[in-house]
Chains A and B, each alone.
Chain A
Amino acid sequence: MSVQTRQRTPNPHLGAYYGIVASAFVSLVVLLAMAEQLGWTDGTVARLLILIPLLLYLAIAVAARTLDVEDFFTSGRRVPQVYNALLLAAITVGGTGFFAYTGAIFFLGFDALAIGIGWACGLLLSAVLFVPYLRRAGAYTLPAFLGQRFRSPETRLAASAVQVVPTALLLAAEMKIAATVTALFLPASYWLAVLLVAVFVAATGILGGIRTLTWSGSAQFISGAIGLSVPLIVVGVLLTNLPAPQFTYGEMLGSLQSAETAAGMSPVEPGAIAALPAAAPIAAVKPFLQSFGAITESGFFALFLCFTLGTAALPSLLARSGVTGSVADQRRSTAWALLLVALFVITAPSLAVFAKLLMFRDMALIPTQGLPAWLSSLSLGQLAQANDLNGDGTISAGELLISRDGIALALPILAQLPYVLTALMATAGLGIALAAAGSHLFTLGASLADDIYGTLEQKPIVLPRLMTAWAAIGGCAFLVAIYLFIAEVDALRTAVTAFAFAAATFFPVLLLAIWWPRCTAWGALASLATGFAVLFLAVTVGGLFGIAETAAGTAISSLVAAVLAVGAGVGASLYGPEPAAFDTAYYEAMRKPDGETIVDQAQMRAASAANNEED
């Protein structure tokens, strides 16, 4: 008896559904803008603009709930390429990119560009080197792929264990950003906001795994894109008369340089200021266009390479490699994600330039016109504070302390736009942060449940497969919330460390597993262990020797660890026995560009054998 190939037809009404979602979101913004003009308070406008979309995301998650294992782990392998790209872009950039990266560009200008271009090149490497082969393999998690590639449960367990560090760090960074925004705009303390965010992302993941994350995440991305572009286009039109800020902010660079000089900014030397700005309010002292002022040329290149390798091998991104209908779709999906990320990276400097120009242009007018109106609004929201320390009647750049993660929120206030646009920016960033946090949480929980519990407990009687995943997702959300209660997390610094761990640990082993047929299980284990151990030592005890203290130091350490990991993988593979015939056959099967995934073929063979036995 033959087994039919599964139908992978996506829902033909998806375009209409998400058109309705986008229209509903835009209508809500327009209604609240009218309500604000009619006298509604800022607080009411902000609360409604944040809570109503959250309820919408939750409703989509409930509608997309599932108890089917294939839907839970791969969304039935029928997600259209562009919808998957929305999620890939949201995971890559995240709330950290939305708030902290834009803030980093505000403070560092040129020097922060290493991160953005690193994300873009990372997605390119991922599309070329890893994604098509992972789609062909069809494993539910990245550790499961390594386990199947080498027929080695030990490799699967080890990969799952080391995957915890980068994924949990990114989850903590995204939840921190989401909780900070929630606490700023809703009548909730930071602790309550952390709890709310943890419950929201855990509920989204538990309801239907990757299926619910895909469909509620698509809505979150759409609201994020609208929320970022509308205030920015309005400010762009006000300043440059054209609605394309990405291409017109160059005209403002001359004015920005004059405003920076008037505020007392002068070129800085590497080491004089931190390589990446801290989350606490600090002074912006580096001129925007100065090249390699906060970071050296080699540090810039190392940070770029670290983000490139880290993005290419990020477990949360690669966990989505099996959700589209074919190898070609998955490859195209990654290219679309790269386009979306590049659009954000191209847009972010315009936001920073507009905010910096508006801020420092007004500061120069203080002796004649007094303190600008926006300063009290920013101070109320704890986004900025100014003190005339030297009593000269002016506020210089060194006397204005600005919150790095609040630059995106400050832009509509600086341009004196209606408050609804500030709330719109907040709900946009919150949506992206929640989409990214949900994906990191799912990757972490699903791997702990499927790769560790599933491998150790071959016949899970106590907890069936989905229940284990639910428990792991809930447990991880709770533990990360506890971590955020007790630890002070700097989202950007944490993200740098997480990408460094992904670059050092997973890039080398994936490169060897996918592109070198001679690689063996011992080689993979050696590579994983070396990459992780070297970077872990550099990050934890390296500070005593001046290693990995700064972001550039962490990036350089991750590159050294990655090179050593490749060497260890090659050495251990060559020293040990040659790969078995099965491993070589798997390697060849992985490179076939069409047909069902290897996992699905195995499942179909098993089902066919069971049917034959019954007959």
Chain B
Amino acid sequence: MTTEIENTVRDRHQLRTLAVAITTVSVALCAVAVAIIYAIALNRLWFLHFPLGFYLLAQGLLIFVVVIAFWYVRVQERIDHTRSLNEEIA
């Protein structure tokens, strides 16, 4: 019975980890891809004295990626903590 519960806890942890990993990676890569595809069009707009397409690739997306990285760290630590707690209870 304990093994069954442990397996459930493990599978749930792995599923949530996989979901967070896919979300993090795909959001970052898609954001960069969109910025590259629309760079020329975005460069017609200006933001903080920068053409927007240039700004996104030189600064905006880097700030976004850093924010995503720390968000991921926080969420993954919470998922790991939940697994540790559930395993202790089991």
Interface residues of B in 13-66 (CB under 8 A from A): 13-14, 17-18, 20-21, 24-25, 28-29, 32-33, 36-37, 39-40, 43, 48-51, 53-55, 57-59, 61-63, 65-66
Question: Which residues does chain B contribute within 8 Å of A327, judged by CB atoms?
Answer: 80
Alpha-carbon separation in the docked complex, A297 to B10 (Å): 43
A331's closest neighbor in chain B, by CB?
B73
Contact (Cβ within 8 A) A304 B32: yes
Interface of B is mostly: helix
B47 to chain A, nearest CB (A): 9
A256 to B58, CA, bound (A): 17
Interface flag for A120 (CB, 8 Å): yes
Q: Complex Cα distance A304/B56, Å?
A: 14
A247 within 8 A of B: yes
Contact of A121 among B29, B53, B58 (CB under 8 A): B29
In the complex, A300→B39 CA distance in Å? 11
Task: Report if A184 contacts B (CB, 8 A).
Answer: no
A594 touches B84 (CB 8 A): yes
- Given known contacts A289-B51, A297-B36, A594-B80, is B62 in contact with A117 (CB within 8 Å)? yes
Q: Are A331 and B66 in contact (CB under 8 A)?
A: no
- B36 close to A121 (CB less than 8 A): no
Q: How far is the CB of B37 from chain A (nearest CB, A)?
A: 7
The CA-CA distance from A121 to B61 in the complex, in Å, is 10
> What 0/1 readout, one digit per residue, does chain A (495-534) give for beta carbons within 8 Å of chain B?
0000000000000000000010000000000000000000
Name the CB-closest residue of B to A252. B49
Provide the residues of chain B in CB contact with A121, threshold 8 Å.
Answer: 28-29, 32, 65
A300 to B36, CA, bound (A): 8
A588–B10 contact, CB under 8 A? yes
Chain A 251-285 residues near chain B, CB threshold 8 A? 251, 253-254
Cβ distance A296 to chain B, nearest Cβ, rounded Å: 11
Closest beta carbon of chain A to B40's beta carbon, Å: 5
A594 nearest CB neighbor, chain B only: B84
Select from chain A the residue with minimum beta-carbon distance to B37: A297
In Å, the complex CA distance between A331 and B80 comes to 12
Question: Is residue A346 contacting chain B, with contact meaning CB distance below 8 A?
Answer: yes
Chain A residues 125-147 with CB under 8 Å of chain B are: 125, 127-129, 132
Report chain B residues within 8 Å CB of A116: 58, 62
Residues of B within 8 A of A127 (CB): 69, 72-73
Instruction: Decide if A346 touches B59 in the complex (CB within 8 Å).
Output: yes
A345 at the B interface (CB under 8 A): yes
Interface range, B side: 35 or more
**Does any Cβ of B come within 8 Å of A93's Cβ?**
no
Q: Which among B18, B58, B84 is the interface contact of A349 at CB below 8 angstroms?
A: B58
The answer to whether A342 touches B62 (Cβ under 8 A) is: yes
Bound complex: CA A297 to CA B36 (Å): 7
Chain A 181-228 interface residues, beta-carbon cutoff 8 Å to B:
none
Is A605 interfacial (CB 8 A cutoff)?
Answer: no
Check if A43 is an interface residue, CB within 8 A of chain B: no
Q: Which residue of A lies closest to B76 (CB)?
A: A331
A73 close to chain B: CB less than 8 A? no
Asked if B66 contacts A339 (CB within 8 A), the reply is yes
Q: Residue on A with the closest CB to B21?
A: A128
Q: Which residue of A lies closest to B83 (CB)?
A: A593
**Complex Cα spacing A253 to B70, Å:** 32
Per the bound structure, the CA–CA distance linking A361 and B48 in Å amounts to: 23
Q: Which of these, B25, B61, B77, B84, contacts A128 with CB under 8 Å? A: B25
Shortest beta-carbon distance from B60 to chain A in Å: 10
Of the candidates A291, A335, A346, A591, the one whose C-beta lies within 8 Å of that of B62 is A346
Please indicate the chain B residues that have their CB under 8 angstroms from the CB of A364 in the complex: none
Chain A contact residues, CB within 8 Å of chain B = 110, 113, 116-117, 120-121, 123-125, 127-129, 132, 246-247, 250-251, 253-254, 289, 291-292, 297, 300-301, 304, 308, 327-328, 331-332, 334-335, 338-339, 342, 345-346, 349, 515, 588, 591, 593-594
Residues in B lying within 8 Å of A, measured CB to CB: 10, 13-14, 17-18, 20-21, 24-25, 28-29, 32-33, 36-37, 39-40, 43, 48-51, 53-55, 57-59, 61-63, 65-66, 68-70, 72-73, 76-77, 80, 83-84
Could you give 6 example pairs across A and B, Cβ below 8 Å?
A: A110-B57, A121-B28, A129-B21, A291-B43, A297-B39, A345-B62
